[in-house]
């Protein structure tokens, strides 16, 4: 019940976020109509459609996203037509002539005083608006979708999403009721209903154009990062749901006891150390870091974890890295050992191929840091990268509790290079994007992804931000895709300082040459550490490759990679 309440409140908070702005013109275009017959059906259609599409996304992954992409186009067409009917009465009159049921109802109502004033037409417009509505994925919505991804979608997930949508619809309903009165008074006092109607038509068409050009997912997304997320996270924290960051513990405040640390048994191998046990570590302060070597967020946090290990080892700190694989190739112990060596990790690493330690800690995140005191109790944890000063403060606080003396007041100074460099968060508008059929999102190939079948994809140039496409011969599996002929490629429209791609040679391990371009040209100074200025590079092992690091202002760019040899495995894009 608590999660349903949280989902509802989280949806209600979207009204104060800029990401709701593209929806408002379509809602307020109905403000002069009776709420029960116009506003309420529109909001119901919007909420039900969003919940349905989001549920499909949780269940069907890439397929649902592809369906939603088609629905988005259809919605834009419907709403653009609605705007034109508002703007041009003569066009609305002509639109009454077709006998097609939907067009007839909309146009007949238009000839009686405005397009689509009936409850059925309002519900249809709500459906169209719901297909366009992409609420800011704040912590509450993220909690629901993460649960669906990790534990499998269910009827409960759909109802949680419906609660979220209902919360947003409630906020919009209140705005519509208040706004409707203002709107009606304005029309009456001005005596210019035709001009108001045409102005609304212009606003609707501008909103449609903004959405079609990606304004809602670009500028508004950037604005939204600083709005409802903090409100939702605060709500989660107060109710004790979701991850708690170490930053929530103020300096000098006592740390709570979160429970006894679980055993460290179950690792298939230990690197840099013999097997360690919970009992054998009593009397030591322990930091357990869950990571995997192709995870960009993990890579950016590793220099700090290594620095803590070196700085506080003689004060009683033991750092343990738990390598919990995401992709199949990360189960290869030789790959993990090479990564540990190449990344300069000197502290003990438990190879948790069966996720035994991961499950014992009930962990769900990469990276995740658990802080354990000398009595074997978890006293704090931190999910994700960042807040390194707060984490180090906790380490020192636990060491002092454990009797350590002479601790330096400062914090470690870390300057990671290459993929380990800190992310440019304000300019990162592109999300981690999987290329296998199980989790694919944003694919722009005309016929979508064809799973587990060798396919010659026709290349397309994605116009929308965060969309991508294959070209040439690929076999797309659930986790990754394998190129089947020379000149196979991938194109991605992105917005971030850094672009990374998780790649590896297919079975046999033969190197694969590639060439990249940015906006159709060699990257030059914007090449990442794994690409030359002319865009050339070679896939030699299964890992994360940094292909782009922009030196100038960050903007929307079109990235393209062409593999000159067959047999490359492509797993996921990540950004920084």
Nearest alpha-carbon partner for 557 in 500, 494, 465, 469: 494
Residue 217, pLDDT score: 41
Instruction: Tell me, yes or no, whether 416 and 442 share the same domain.
Output: no
- The CATH number given to whatever domain includes residue 360 is 3.40.30.10
Q: Work out the number of other CB atoms within 10 angstroms of the CB of residue 106.
A: 26
- The rounded distance, in Å, linking the Cα atoms of 203 and 224 is 21
Question: Does 346 lie in the same domain as 212?
Answer: no
Same domain as 273, residue 196: no
Looking at residue 457, its pLDDT comes to 96
Query: How high is the mean pLDDT of the chain?
Result: 76
Report the pLDDT value the prediction gives residue 27, as an integer from 0 to 100: 61
**Percent residues over pLDDT 90 in the chain:** 41
Domain holding 480: CATH number? 2.60.120.260
Return d(Cα 472, Cα 266) in angstroms, integer. Answer: 43
Q: pLDDT tens-digit profile of 270-292? A: 999 999 999 999 999 999 999 99
Residue 396 falls within a domain, yes or no?
yes
Question: How far is the CA of 457 from the CAs of 449, 473, 489, 569, in angstroms?
Answer: 9, 6, 9, 16
Q: Judge if 107 and 69 occupy the same domain.
A: yes
Q: Residue 24's pLDDT band (boundaries 50, 70, 90)?
A: low
Write the DSSP assignment of 498-542 as a string of letters: EEEEEEEE-TT---EEEEEEETTB--GGGB-TTS-TTSEEEE-SS
489 phi/psi in degrees, rounded to 5? -150, 175
CA atoms within 13 A on the CB side of 502: 24
Q: Looking at residue 440, what is its pLDDT?
A: 87
**Where is the domain boundary, 372, 397, 420?**
420
| Residue-level pLDDT at 34 | 67
- Rounded to whole angstroms, the Cα distance separating 475 from 452 reads 6
- Supply the pLDDT for residue 65: 37
Which stretches does DSSP call E strand in 298-348?
317-323
Residue 322 lies in a domain: yes
Q: Are residues 385 and 443 in the same domain?
A: no
Distances (CA, A) of 165 to 39, 128, 161: 15, 15, 6
Using the predicted structure, report yes or no on whether residue 411 has a pLDDT greater than 90.
no
Q: Using alpha carbons, select from 410, 412, 400, 380 the residue that is nearest to residue 316.
A: 400
For the segment 362-381, what is each residue's pLDDT rounded down to a tens digit?
Answer: 998 889 999 999 999 999 99
Domain with 286 in it: 246-420
pLDDT tens profile 427-477 = 889 999 999 998 888 999 998 999 999 999 998 999 899 999 999 999 999
Report the C-alpha gap between 176 and 436 in whole angstroms. Answer: 42
Nearest Cα residue to 349 out of 276, 261, 263: 276
Residue 97: other Cβ atoms inside 10 A: 9
Distance in angstroms (rounded) separating the CA atoms of residues 31 and 400: 62
Higher pLDDT, 494 or 211: 494
In a shared domain, residues 280 and 392: yes
Residues 67 and 209 in one domain: yes
Average pLDDT over residues 534-549: 94
pLDDT in the model for residue 399: 93
In the chain, DSSP finds a helix count (H) and a strand count (E) of: 16, 18
Domain end marker among 420, 442, 466: 420
116 and 153 part of one domain:
yes
Question: Do residues 402 and 316 lie in contact, with contact meaning Cβ atoms separated by under 8 Å?
Answer: yes
Residue 274 DSSP SS3:
coil
Q: Which residues contact 462 (CB under 8 A, 6 or more apart)?
A: 444, 468, 469, 491, 492, 493, 558
Domain boundary among 200, 235, 270: 235
Q: Is residue 240 assigned to a domain?
A: no
How many domains are contained in the chain?
3
Burial pattern 68-79, b for ≥16 Cβ within 10 A else e, equals: bbebbeebbebb
- Residue 416 covered by a domain: yes
Weakest-pLDDT range from 6-20, 248-262, 411-425: 6-20
Residues 457 and 544 reside in one and the same domain: yes
Q: What percent of the chain has pLDDT over 70?
A: 60
Domain membership flag for residue 32: yes
In a domain, 99, yes or no: yes
- Using a cut of 0.85, tell me whether the model's pTM lies above it: no
Predicted pLDDT at 315: 93
Same domain, residue pair 288 and 431:
no
56 and 175 assigned to the same domain: yes
- Output the six-digit token pair for 314: 């003689």
Per-residue confidence (pLDDT) for residue 484, from 0 to 100: 94
- Give dist(CA 429, CA 425) in Å, integer: 8
Give yes or no for residue 104 having a pLDDT over 80. Answer: no
More confident residue, 286 or 222: 286
Residue 130 lies in a domain: yes
d(CA 42, CA 127): 7
Residues 359, 445, single domain; the answer is no
Residue 516 has pLDDT above 50, yes or no: yes
Category of 484 on φ-ψ map: left (φ > 0), alpha (ψ -120 to 50) or beta: alpha
**Burial class (CB within 10 angstroms; exposed 0-12, middle 13-18, buried 19+) of 410:** exposed
| In-domain check, residue 24 | yes
């Amino acid at each position: 019940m608590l999660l349903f309440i949280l989902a509802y409140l989280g949806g209600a908070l979207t009204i104060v976020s800029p990401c709701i702005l593209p929806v408002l013109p379509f809602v307020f275009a109905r403000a002069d109509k009776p709420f029960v017959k116009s506003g309420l059906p529109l909001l119901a259609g919007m909420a039900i459609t969003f919940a349905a599409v989001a549920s499909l996304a949780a269940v069907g992954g890439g397929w649902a996203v592809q369906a939603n992409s088609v629905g988005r186009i259809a919605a834009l067409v419907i709403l653009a037509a609605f705007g034109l009917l508002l703007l041009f009465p003569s066009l609305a009159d002509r639109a009454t002539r077709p006998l097609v049921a939907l067009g007839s109802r909309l146009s007949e109502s238009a000839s009686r005083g405005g397009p689509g004033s009936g409850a059925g037409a309002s519900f249809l417009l709500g459906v169209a608006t719901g297909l366009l509505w992409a609420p800011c994925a704040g912590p509450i919505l993220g909690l629901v979708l993460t649960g669906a991804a990790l534990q499998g979608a269910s009827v409960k997930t759909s109802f949680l999403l419906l609660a979220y949508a209902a919360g947003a619809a409630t906020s919009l309903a209140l705005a519509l009721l208040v706004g409707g009165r203002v709107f009606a008074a304005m029309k009456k006092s001005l005596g210019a209903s035709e001009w108001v109607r045409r102005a609304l038509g212009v606003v609707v068409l501008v909103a449609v154009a903004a959405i079609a050009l990606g304004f809602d997912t670009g500028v508004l997304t950037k604005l939204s990062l600083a709005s409802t997320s903090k409100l939702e996270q605060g709500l989660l924290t107060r109710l004790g749901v979701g991850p708690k960051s170490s930053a929530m513990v103020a300096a000098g405040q006592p740390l709570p006891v979160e429970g006894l640390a679980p055993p460290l048994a179950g690792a298939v191998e230990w690197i840099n150390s013999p097997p360690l046990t919970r009992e054998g570590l009593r009397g030591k302060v322990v930091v357990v870091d869950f990571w995997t070597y192709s995870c960009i967020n993990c890579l950016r946090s590793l220099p700090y974890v290594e620095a803590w290990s070196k700085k506080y080892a003689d004060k009683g700190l033991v750092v343990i890295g738990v390598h919990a694989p995401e992709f199949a190739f990360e189960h290869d112990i030789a790959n993990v050992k090479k990564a540990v060596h190449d990344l300069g990790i000197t502290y003990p690493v438990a190879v948790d191929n069966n996720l035994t330690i991961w499950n014992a800690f009930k962990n769900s995140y990469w990276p995740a840091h658990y802080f354990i005191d000398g009595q074997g109790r978890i006293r704090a944890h931190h999910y994700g990268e960042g807040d390194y000063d707060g984490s180090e403060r906790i380490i020192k606080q636990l060491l002092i509790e454990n009797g350590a003396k002479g601790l330096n007041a400062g914090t470690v100074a870390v300057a990671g290079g290459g993929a380990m460099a800190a992310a440019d968060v304000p300019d990162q508008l592109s999300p981690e994007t999987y290329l296998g059929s199980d989790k694919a999102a944003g694919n722009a190939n005309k016929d979508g992804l064809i799973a587990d079948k060798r396919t010659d994809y026709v290349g397309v140039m994605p116009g929308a931000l965060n969309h991508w496409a294959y070209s040439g011969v690929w076999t797309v599996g659930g986790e990754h895709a394998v190129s089947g002929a020379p000149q196979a490629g991938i194109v991605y429209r992105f917005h971030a300082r850094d672009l990374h791609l998780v790649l590896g040679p297919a079975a046999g391990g033969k190197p694969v040459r590639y060439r990249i371009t940015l906006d159709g040209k060699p990257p030059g100074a914007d090449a990442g550490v794994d690409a030359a200025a002319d865009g050339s590079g070679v896939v030699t092992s299964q890992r994360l490759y940094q292909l782009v690091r922009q030196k100038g202002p960050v903007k929307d760019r079109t990235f393209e990679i062409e593999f000159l040899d067959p047999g490359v495995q492509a797993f996921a894009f990540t950004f920084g």
